[in-house]
Amino acid sequence: MNIHEYQAKEILKTYGVSVPPGGVARTPEEAERIAKELACERFIVKAQIHAGGRGKADGIKLANNPKEVQKAAEGIIGMRLVTHQTGKDGKLVRTVLVEEASNIEKELYLGVIVDRAISQIVMIASESGGMDIEEIAAEQPEKIWRESIDLTIGLAPFQARKLAYKLNVPKQLVNETVKNMTGLYNAFVACDCSLAEINPLAITADGKVVAIDAKMNFDDNALFRHEAIAELRDADEEDVRELEASSYGLSWVSLDGNIGCMVNGAGLAMATMDLIKLHKGEPANFLDVGGSASAEQITQAFKLILSDKKVRTILVNIFGGIMKCDVIAEGIIKAAREVKLSVPLVVRLEGTNVELGKRLLAESKLNVISADGLEDAARKAVMAIRQ
Ligand code: GDP
Ligand code: MN
């Protein structure tokens, strides 16, 4: 799960990360009021969307007084912000963060992630902050520093100091930088993050270390123990199909292709997408209906797939272990009757009650293309589109 910059900053602040004073506004008037309360010399008004790259896309504006803050907020709230991270449709801006502007002298990058290859949490730091870390990693890998962290010890002070020296932080600001690094790491662990990032962490002209931008992603599987964080979920920012699928207990990820997939088991779903790609097709979604889906869940899943106008064919690939093939067939038939099935349907069923499942489908008079085996199913799905 993702949250907004202003929410991440509120959390990080409680762990000792320095953030600029500010407040969040839903209207230009509210933005002006916040600016008046802040009573500082210069302000920054920032669009709040679940995507970065706002600076280059006019989603961030400087303002010299509360009236200018109001004007800036007027321009930003309600706009569809298109950045390199939003996709071409962009994202509707509903809120802005109004902050005291910082006089930035130097921008650093600071991030914490889990490195699965070494099963450890790693802090990543770079002197080339402000930019995308992927870009730095690709073009100037020598500018990226890493410290892997022993979970039982946490980020040791010497590790943070080492990173601060590598980043050429001025001597008198090393302790302050270490404090921010420690805060970021502690927040990452305490909140069960999958990513926590400050980009940029700024060194200011008046000798401060400040988190200018912040991003936190959370491990969905740990959200049950973070009620307050779970409440920060912003449904407006999420894929409607992913949200709806999760309300039925289905794992769904929207993709760009045109072959709708319904599979049981994450591994089989991944293998199905691989085979579709191998046959030069593109999956429209990843969908794992789970090991023991009900006919009702199958019906909902089927409707979700059909609600995607990009979908030109559907590939059902079920290996019935705990799952029974006749239940799948019933769900498909029910959904196809409720929603008019207008695209070819390729079905590969295998396992428990497979004969019964196939018979139900045959008797339903649905236009089903039956497949033998996974490879055959992927090939037939791709062929169905070409025809
Ligand atoms: P992003 O583009 O969505 O990652 O948004 P950021 O919050 O990282 O801002 C992008 C860039 O805007 C930063 O790298 C800074 O260069 C600039 N910026 C943001 N806030 C301030 C500020 O308070 N003062 C100054 N001078 N620049 C800022
Ligand atoms: Mn940023």
pLDDT tens digits, the chain, 387 residues: what are they? 999 999 999 999 999 999 999 999 999 999 999 999 998 999 999 999 999 999 999 999 999 999 999 999 999 999 999 999 887 888 999 999 999 999 999 999 999 999 999 999 999 999 999 878 888 889 999 999 999 999 999 999 999 999 999 999 999 999 999 999 999 999 999 999 999 999 999 999 999 999 999 999 999 999 999 999 999 999 888 888 888 898 898 999 999 899 999 998 899 999 999 999 999 999 999 999 887 778 788 888 988 999 988 999 999 998 888 888 898 888 888 888 888 888 999 999 999 999 999 999 999 988 889 898 899 999 999 999 988
Residue-level pLDDT at 331: 85
Which run of H or of E encompasses 91? strand 91-92
Measured in Å, residue 228 CA sits from the centre of ligand 1 at 28
Residue-level pLDDT at 316: 93
Measured in Å, residue 195 CA sits from the centre of ligand 1 at 20
Ligand 1 atom index nearest CA of 56: 2
Ligand 1 atom 24 nearest Cα = 102
Look at the block and give the residue holding tokens 């899943």.
Answer: 301
Ligand 1 atom index nearest CA of 107: 14
Q: Residue 23 and residue 177: Cα distance in Å, rounded?
A: 24
Question: 200: Cβ–Cβ under 8 A, 6 or more apart, which residues?
Answer: 104, 107, 108, 109, 129, 130, 212, 213
Choose the residue to mutate in 46, 104, 209 for probing ligand 1, maximizing ligand atoms within 8 Å of C-beta: 104
Write down the pTM of the prediction: 0.82
Q: Residue 315 and residue 255: Cα distance in Å, rounded?
A: 15
Question: 41: Cβ–Cβ under 8 A, 6 or more apart, which residues?
Answer: 64, 101
Q: Which two tokens stand for residue 240?
A: 């409607």
Measured in Å, residue 55 CA sits from the centre of ligand 1 at 6
- Ligand 1 close to Cβ of residue 283 (< 6 A): no
What is the residue type of 234? D
- Ligand 1 close to Cβ of residue 23 (< 6 A): no
Q: Annotated catalytic, 109?
A: yes
Cβ distance 285 to 253 under 8 Å?
A: yes
**HSE (CB half, 13 Å, CA atoms) of 193?**
27
Q: Annotated catalytic, 282?
A: no
Residue-level pLDDT at 132: 81
Residue-level pLDDT at 323: 80
Neighbours of 136 (CB within 10 A): 20
Peptide bond preceding 200 in cis form (omega within 30 of 0): yes
- Ligand 1 close to Cβ of residue 213 (< 6 A): yes
108-122 burial by CB neighbour count: b if 16+ within 10 A, else e? bbbbbbeeeeeeebe
Ligand index nearest the alpha carbon of residue 129: 1
Ligand index nearest the alpha carbon of residue 110: 2
Cα–chain center distance at 114: 16
DSSP state, residue 107: E
Residue-level pLDDT at 365: 86
Q: Which of 6, 15, 109, 185 is catalytic?
A: 109
Which run of H or of E encompasses 121? strand 120-126
Q: Which of 99, 197, 248, 330 is catalytic?
A: 197
Measured in Å, residue 132 CA sits from the centre of ligand 1 at 12
